[in-house]
Amino acid sequence: MNFIEEVKSYEDICKILNLDPNLEPDVSAYDDEDKDAAVSIFRLWKANKAAWNGEVIDWNNFSQRKYEVWCDLSDEAGSGSGFSSFDYFYDHGCSFVGARLVWPSYEIGRHLVKIMEQDFINMMKIPKK
């Protein structure tokens, strides 16, 4: 499977996983400001599962690279949008974001930031009141 060619949307991710794209976690217990973040984290976890295609993320396997998206969240980033992915860091056995938010390649991480940008923003930023 060529993930980047096949995945152009969250719906494509759901097709890979045989999931209903309208399925969302129950966020009724969350504060209103946290609901979008919870749904976005759910969606990004599904993207992660599809991207790894069944491969187990092994923190003891130092030949298995794990890429993290590093973002600029300042108000000036991304032409005023307050979000710009500016780097993709890889490591073998440690992570700043945990297994569910590391990607099997730089290219997949970058691709997902493009097609799921709002989910990354919802996860990383607390809405202004």
Domain membership of residue 64 (yes or no) is yes
Domain membership of residue 99 (yes or no) is yes
Taking a C-beta distance cutoff of 8 angstroms, is the pair 63, 54 a contact?
no
Model confidence, pTM: 0.83
Q: Cα(first)–Cα(last) distance of the chain, in Å? A: 43
Taking a C-beta distance cutoff of 8 angstroms, is the pair 48, 87 a contact?
no
Q: Which residues contact 52 (CB under 8 A, 6 or more apart)?
A: 104
pLDDT higher than 60, residue 82: no
* pLDDT (tens digit per residue) in 2-60: 999 999 999 999 999 999 999 999 999 999 999 999 999 999 999 999 999 999 988 88
Give me the amino acid identity at 2: N
What is the enclosing helix (H) or strand (E) of 67?
Answer: strand 66-72
Domain containing residue 106: 3-124
Average model confidence (pLDDT) across the chain:
83
Domain membership of residue 129 (yes or no) is no
